[in-house]
């Protein structure tokens, strides 16, 4: 069991799975394990400053209760030599917490992690200097992520407008790509999954799972959009997967991308790389 004394906690009260009582509940759970936790529950615009202050305080453990995007930001700040990170499920998808703690709610995940957790290196990916710990979606279908967020907020009309925009962009240009220096190929979109969330790779794999997606027409585009909204992209049409450590991607214009749920715009040429150690996490022991 990893020795923990000083604990910093960042709670994003604007996340979908967090209520106003969460900061007090975290303090109580930590106290039950003999730990005094300093909890920061900032307003949304102060979240980045709170994360940085937590990492800079030099604790043994940083706990986040938020979505995958906040967990990614915390991992970048902690780094492979900094404090341990425990990302609790407080967002919409919670793919990273589920990979580390199973399908538990956050109070149970925290209690079990503090009682039984062990230190483990967390691998991930990087594209144009931006780290991702769960998945990167490159190409026009990444725009469906904005529609998904509108659905989460209950803005149905906005989700429809964003969905229409994504559908129009879906046929505006294909990506060219090469995996590990291989032959160039084309695809409507590329998905890169980190080992902890990949169903095809073991946790200790030294590579990303790369999936190329192609669309045959409007019906496929609608199906891809639907599965992007609910997160089950593997049910989308024409998916081909492979393991890779580095990928080169080209497009005629800037490439829309979704990195752990955050929509960004990449240059017309981008490199995606596997990173063996983004941060150290407090995770549960693997099942035999």
CATH of the domain at 70: 3.40.50.10330
Number of domains the chain contains: 2
Where is average pLDDT lowest: 236-240, 250-254, 265-269?
Answer: 236-240
The pTM score is 0.80
Looking at the structure, do residues 69 and 196 belong to the same domain, yes or no?
Answer: no
Q: Is residue 284 part of a domain?
A: no
CA atoms within 13 A on the CB side of 95: 22
Q: Is residue 99 part of a domain?
A: yes
Query: What would the mean pLDDT of 180-185 be, rounded to a whole number?
Result: 94
Task: Report long-range pairs for 164-172 (Cβ below 8 Å, ≥24 apart).
Answer: 166/140, 166/141, 166/225, 167/218, 167/221, 167/222, 167/225, 169/140, 169/143, 169/256, 170/140, 170/141, 170/215, 170/221, 170/224, 170/225, 171/140, 171/215, 171/221, 172/140
Looking at the structure, do residues 246 and 140 belong to the same domain, yes or no?
Answer: yes
Looking at the structure, do residues 148 and 270 belong to the same domain, yes or no?
Answer: yes
Please write the tens of the pLDDT for every residue from 108-144: 999 999 999 999 999 999 999 999 998 888 887 676 6
Please write the tens of the pLDDT for every residue from 190-217: 889 898 888 777 777 899 999 887 755 4
Looking at the structure, do residues 63 and 178 belong to the same domain, yes or no?
Answer: no
Looking at the structure, do residues 143 and 102 belong to the same domain, yes or no?
Answer: no
Looking at the structure, do residues 263 and 138 belong to the same domain, yes or no?
Answer: yes
pLDDT band at 157; cut points 50, 70, 90: low
Looking at the structure, do residues 160 and 103 belong to the same domain, yes or no?
Answer: no
Q: What pLDDT, on the 0 to 100 scale, is given for residue 277?
A: 93
| Domain final position from 64, 92, 116 | 116
At residue 183, does pLDDT exceed 90? yes
| Domain final position from 116, 138, 153 | 116
The most distant pair of C-alpha atoms in the chain lies apart, rounded to whole Å, by: 58
Please write the tens of the pLDDT for every residue from 7-21: 999 999 888 778 889
pLDDT band at 189; cut points 50, 70, 90: confident
Q: Is residue 227 part of a domain?
A: yes
Domain extent for 71: 7-116
| Domain final position from 68, 85, 116 | 116
Looking at the structure, do residues 162 and 136 belong to the same domain, yes or no?
Answer: yes
Looking at the structure, do residues 26 and 91 belong to the same domain, yes or no?
Answer: yes
Top-confidence residue, 180 or 237: 180
Q: What pLDDT, on the 0 to 100 scale, is given for residue 282?
A: 95
């Amino acid at each position: 069991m990893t020795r923990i004394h000083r604990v910093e906690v960042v709670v994003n009260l604007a996340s979908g799975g967090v209520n106003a009582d969460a900061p007090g509940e975290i303090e109580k759970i930590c106290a039950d394990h003999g730990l005094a936790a300093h909890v920061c529950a900032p307003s949304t615009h102060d979240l980045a400053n709170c994360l940085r202050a937590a990492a800079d305080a030099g604790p043994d453990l940083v706990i986040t209760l938020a979505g995958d995007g906040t967990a990614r930001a915390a991992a970048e700040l902690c780094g492979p030599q900094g404090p341990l990170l425990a990302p609790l499920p407080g967002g919409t998808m919670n793919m990273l917490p589920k990979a580390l703690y199973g399908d538990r709610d956050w109070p149970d995940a925290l209690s079990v992690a503090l009682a039984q957790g062990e230190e483990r290196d967390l691998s991930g990916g990087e594209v144009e200097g931006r780290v991702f710990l769960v998945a990167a979606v490159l190409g026009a279908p990444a725009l469906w992520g904005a529609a998904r967020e509108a659905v989460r907020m209950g803005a149905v009309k906005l989700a429809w407008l964003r969905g229409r925009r994504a559908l129009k962009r879906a046929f505006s240009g294909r990506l060219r790509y090469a995996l590990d220096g291989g032959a160039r190929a084309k695809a409507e979109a590329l998905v890169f999954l980190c080992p902890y969330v990949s169903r095809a790779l073991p946790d200790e794999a030294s590579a990303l799972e790369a999936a190329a997606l192609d669309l045959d027409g409007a019906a496929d585009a609608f199906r891809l959009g639907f599965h992007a909204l609910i997160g089950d992209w593997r049910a989308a049409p024409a998916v081909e997967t492979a393991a890779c450590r580095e990928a080169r991607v080209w497009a005629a214009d800037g490439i829309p991308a979704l990195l752990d749920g955050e929509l960004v715009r990449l240059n017309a040429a981008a490199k995606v790389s596997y990173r063996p150690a983004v941060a150290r996490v407090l995770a549960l022991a693997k099942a035999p």
